[in-house]
Structure 1
Amino acid sequence: MLEETQPAPLRTVDVARESGYSVQQVRDLERLGVIPPAVRSANSYRSYTPLHVRALRAYRGLAEATGPFEARRLLTELRTATPTDAASAVNAVHVRLAREREEALRAQQALRAIEAEKGAGHDDDTMTITELAGALGVRTSTLRFWEEEGLLTPERVTSLRARRYGPSAVGTARIVVALRSAGYGIPAVREALASLPQDNGLEETSRVLRNRLDRIAARTVTLLRAGADLAAVIDAR
């Protein structure tokens, strides 16, 4: 009966070549806890396994989907989490991306409403600041800050200072969320909102939202491609 052989140990340069990172990046990511510590030989040379390569590939996918800081945190936790907790953490990333996509789509709908000059004949349904914050996934303090910065204006404030947001204000708020998520600073968002009544303003903001949707799709596909490597990291905990 043939004995099962263990894969030959990998050098740092081998891991770098297989993962697409540089030798220094492999060492840095090991130091940051993204991959397990390499075994050190008597002469202090590092010795890696194929699992280290898969962990680095998983990190690349997570970093593309969530950013490097969040990816480092997740990879560190996945190595010691139970399968249930690990699967839940990865699923949360998918849910977050789906929510970003949904918000960008709603912002597109708001843009189309502005383009069609939706204003006459709409219903009078309004939302409180708490309801709007919940619908957008932001804090009420964020909505107040946007109001202070001139990005958002309640359509009605009651005698008790309670804010009410009608369809137009809700649509504007969705556009603000999408632009902020796309990396626009407050001045740039203010400029974009001011230009919306103009044809070029509508087109430019529409272009930003289309690009954001494309970017979310790319991040989602990257995360899906990293699935097998993530599973290998979880299974080897």
Structure 2
Amino acid sequence: MARSDAVDLSTVTVAAATGYSVQQIRDLEAHGVIGAAPRKRNGYRVFSARHIRDLHAYRDLAVAVGPVEARRVMREIRVVAPADAPAQVASLHVELAHERDRALQARRALLLIRTEAEIEVEPTENDTMTITELAEALGVRTSTLRFWEKEQLVTPQRVATNAGSARRYPLAAIREARIVVALRAAGYRIPDVHRALTDLRDLRDIDVSLKALDSRIDDIAARTLALLRAGAVLAEVIACR
């Protein structure tokens, strides 16, 4: 890598030091990810070791929060009010911490549901819930339960009433609804929830989803470390302003 005080570096040299292509470096400069490089009289860009440092930070930041958000943060910490720039970085740590908390909560919920299933007695007719009762118990809207039914995530029973029919949720459907709540809270998309429920029917294979959540928690840890690595450089960029 170039010395920390190196100046007058060519685009090709920066590309070799960072692993980015020459065109990618030009694009990242245009997006404000790195500071604007001065030009020589012949029009060639002149970079310094700071540009290399910032590109390495951007790579870690992209791992942590994705390239779109990384570009936004690298650009905005250079232009927002100095007092606001540290908050931009701090918010990334907060969001990753919340993401980890949601995954841990989902894992605990699945373990609890599995434990309950292992000790459940044979269900009776009184163990069912109406759509209103279940929505209140889960903290969701009745329209949400109807949407989950449409997506085949939760399957209520239909019982005849004077007005036609009504939904009743037996223990199996209640359990599925609780699993959906847990997985959605952890950031699972509807197709992901559907695949997880396919494995979890009758709780025959809950370990599959637990392993997926463990992998997600490990991934969040790796992304957090990448954010910490980038943070030292981001602090320098902010301080130099």
Hey, what does 1:150 align to over in structure 2? 152
The equivalent residue for 2:164 is: none
**SS of corresponding position for 2:152:** coil
Residue number in structure 1 paired with 2:166: none
- Tell me which of 163, 172, 186 is aligned to 2:180: 172
Q: What RMSD, in angstroms, separates the aligned Cα atoms of the two structures?
A: 3.5
Q: Residue 196 of structure 1 aligns to a residue in which SS?
A: helix
Distance (whole Å) between structure 1 residues aligned to residue 149 and residue 203 of structure 2: 25
Percent identity of the aligned residues? 45
Moved more, 12-21 or 36-45: 12-21
Q: Do the aligned partners of 1:151 and 1:176 also contact (CA within 8 Å) in 2?
A: no
Contact 2:15 2:22 in 1 (8 A): yes
**Counterparts of 1:152 and 1:83, CA distance in 2:** 50
3-state SS, counterpart of residue 200 of structure 2: coil
Work out whether 1:37 is the aligned partner of 2:39.
Answer: no
Question: 1:14-50: CA deviations, max 9, x gaps?
Answer: 2223333222221121122211221111111100122
1:236 to 202, 221, 240: 240
Structure 2, unpaired ranges of 5+: 122-132, 157-173
Check 1:189–1:81 CA distance in 2 against 1; reply closer, same or farther (3 A cut). same
Corresponding letter in the other structure for 2:151: E
Contact 2:82/2:238 (<8 A) preserved: yes
Tell me how far apart the structure 2 counterparts of residues 103 and 143 of structure 1 sit (CA, whole Å): 21
How far 1:200 moved relative to its partner?
Answer: 5.4
Letter in 2 for 1:193: L
Larger Rg: 2
User: What are the ranges of 5 or more consecutive residues in structure 1 without an aligned counterpart?
Assistant: 1-5, 134-139, 155-165
- Residues 51 and 232, structure 1, Cα contact 8 Å, conserved in 2: no
TM-score (normalizing by structure 2): 0.73
Q: 1:24 to 1:192 in 2, by over 3 A?
A: same
Cα–Cα, structure 1 residues 170 and 197, in superposed 2: closer, same or farther, change >3 Å? closer
**Structure 1 residues 93, 27: CA separation in 2 closer, same or farther (over 3 Å shift)?**
same
Distance 1:56 1:144 in 2: 48
**Corresponding residue number in structure 1 for 2:218:** 214
